[in-house]
């Protein structure tokens, strides 16, 4: 699956000649450095347990002969000798004291779409940070459609009726004609809008820089969020967690929603004030919520979300895909090609904005 380009940052090409020296396992040796490696070959460290999709993708793209790929498992911190030589890193999160231990690091490819874990002081500022934004477009959109049907067709209650051997027929509303408000019309939001419009839904939403989006009737700036909340039958959160968005959905925002409206959060758990949402659902000030993301994961067993009627908890499954690594590997290989050539990278994270 090809991803749309997002050329926002460039890096200088690696120094020296490029030769193939690939290691598909953690290097051996007392200092963790393994056999002697050519200092003229740019080293890309893959801190990941299952790196097969990435190694195969690099080989298939003809990149393995241009860079030294070394993998090391998540169970332990990457060896000092490897971090000292690494010019690029592929990982879920930063190793401890990354900035001090990786002075040559110039590119970090995060395996996640959201990158809050990379904004700490230990991450070197000189390294260009890219994320997996856009690789969740298909699977996330399908999970969101499932949430829409779950709410509109009362499917959770129907499953509970079966457990009680209770035959109870329902007249459920249609999605066609309902209004879906999407806060965060990025790649996933645009795909959800396309699919929802095919179902006959009216779609509105917000975008940091308002511009026409296919299938969306009206795109507003974030300042107009209250208007989107007031008009929507379903409010979908797809925003990153930033200083501007944390706690966005509080009691004031919930009061702006229709009593018949549902809240769907597939963005970040920090967008919602948990206690305010629980109160709004319990007091029937909104119809309910489907939540796939939470500030603390796994969601603590004592959290009120588990036991509040009208709130459905999903265990952060929105972005999961049976071939997720292959999708991310395609983006990574494209960025690796650009990195080696000194060209602008795709899906660069703006650390000041937080996404």
Give catalytic residue positions: 268, 297, 316
Spell out the alpha helix ranges (H) of the chain.
Answer: 52-60, 80-85, 98-101, 137-152, 155-163, 187-198, 225-231, 251-256, 274-282, 324-341
End-to-end CA distance of the chain: 22
Q: Is 173 left (phi over 0), alpha (psi -120 to 50) or beta?
A: beta
> Could you tell me whether strands 7-10 and 344-346 are parallel, antiparallel, or unpaired per DSSP bridges?
antiparallel
> What number of other Cβ atoms are within 10 A of residue 165's Cβ?
6
Check if the beta carbon of residue 263 is closer than 8 Å to that of residue 310: no
> What number of other Cβ atoms are within 10 A of residue 306's Cβ?
11
């Amino acid at each position: 699956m090809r991803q749309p380009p997002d050329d926002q940052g460039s890096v200088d090409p690696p120094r020296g000649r490029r030769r193939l020296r690939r290691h598909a396992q953690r290097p051996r040796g007392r200092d963790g450095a393994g056999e002697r490696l050519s200092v003229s070959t740019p080293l890309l460290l893959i801190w990941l347990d299952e790196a097969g999709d990435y190694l195969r993708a690099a080989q298939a793209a003809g990149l393995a002969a241009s860079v030294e790929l070394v993998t090391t498992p998540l169970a332990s911190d990457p060896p000092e000798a490897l971090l000292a030589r690494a010019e690029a890193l592929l990982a879920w999160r930063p190793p401890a004291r990354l900035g001090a231990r990786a002075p040559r690091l110039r590119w970090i490819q995060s395996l996640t779409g959201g990158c809050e874990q990379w904004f700490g002081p230990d991450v070197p500022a000189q390294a260009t940070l890219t994320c997996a934004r856009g690789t969740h477009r298909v699977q996330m959109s399908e999970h969101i459609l499932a949430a829409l049907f779950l709410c509109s067709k009362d499917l959770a209650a129907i499953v509970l009726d079966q457990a009680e051997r209770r035959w109870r027929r329902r007249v459920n509303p249609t999605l066609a004609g309902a209004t879906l408000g999407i806060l965060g019309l990025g790649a996933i939001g645009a795909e959800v809008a396309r699919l929802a419009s095919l179902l006959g839904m009216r779609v509105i939403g917000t975008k940091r820089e308002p511009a026409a989006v296919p299938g969306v009737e009206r795109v507003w700036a974030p300042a107009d969020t209250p208007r989107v909340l007031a008009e929507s039958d379903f409010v979908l959160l797809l925003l990153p967690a930033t200083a501007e968005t944390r706690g966005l959905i509080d009691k004031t925002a919930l009061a702006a929603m229709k009593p018949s409206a549902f809240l769907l959060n597939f963005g970040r758990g920090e967008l919602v004030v948990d206690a305010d949402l629980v109160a709004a659902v319990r007091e029937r000030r909104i119809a309910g919520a489907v939540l796939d993301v939470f500030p603390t994961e796994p969601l603590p067993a004592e959290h009120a979300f588990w036991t509040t009627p009208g709130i459905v908890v999903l265990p952060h499954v929105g972005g999961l895909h049976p071939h997720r690594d292959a999708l991310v590997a395609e983006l990574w290989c494209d960025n690796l090609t650009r990195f080696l050539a000194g060209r602008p990278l795709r899906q660069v994270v703006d650390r000041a904005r937080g996404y």
